[in-house]
Every structure is written in C-alpha cells, then in structure tokens.
C-alpha cells in the first residue's frame, strides 16, 4: 500500500512540475501492478483508479504521444 501511495504521489507531483515522462513512468508502473478487480481490497475507490488512468493519459499527451492513449483506454477496459 505504501508503494501505491508513493507512485501516485510521484506521478502527480511530476505532472504538476511538468515532468511528463516521469509521470508516465510512475503511472504505468502503478497500473501494471494494480488489478482493478482488487481495488476495494486495497481500500481504494474506483475513482482513485480512474484518476490514475487519467494521470497517465495527461502525461502521454504532455510528452507528445497521443497514439499511446490506447494504453490508457485499455486500462479503463480492465
């Protein structure tokens, strides 16, 4: 749980500082290790998951990789 919080904080801090590559890396790592079916077991709400996917999408747009938004879309479909 501590690692999840750290990755979320790192991702959004990077976005605030316009370090989109770092943000994308943090959000990707987080989503790769997060099973949406087990969100409630981690005491997270679905909105938390949606915000992480949104953070990934924003960071991909920020680094000029809109074609990779399908990656974020696939996360929504999980």
Calpha distance 72→76 (Å, rounded) = 7
> In terms of Cα–Cα distance, which of 69, 73, 67 is closest to 58?
69
Q: What is the value of pTM for the model shown?
A: 0.78
**pLDDT for 20:** 94
Residue 10 in this model has a pLDDT that exceeds 90 = yes
Residue 28 phi/psi, 5-degree rounding, is -65, -45
Higher pLDDT, 3 or 68: 3
């Amino acid at each position: 749980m501590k690692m999840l919080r750290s990755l979320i904080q790192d991702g959004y801090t990077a976005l605030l500082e316009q370090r989109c590559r770092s943000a994308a890396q943090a959000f990707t790592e987080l989503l790769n290790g997060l099973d949406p079916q087990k969100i409630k077991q981690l005491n997270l709400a679905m909105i938390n998951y949606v915000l992480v996917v949104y953070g990934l999408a924003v960071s991909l747009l920020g680094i000029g990789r809109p074609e990779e938004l399908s990656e974020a879309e696939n996360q929504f479909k999980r």
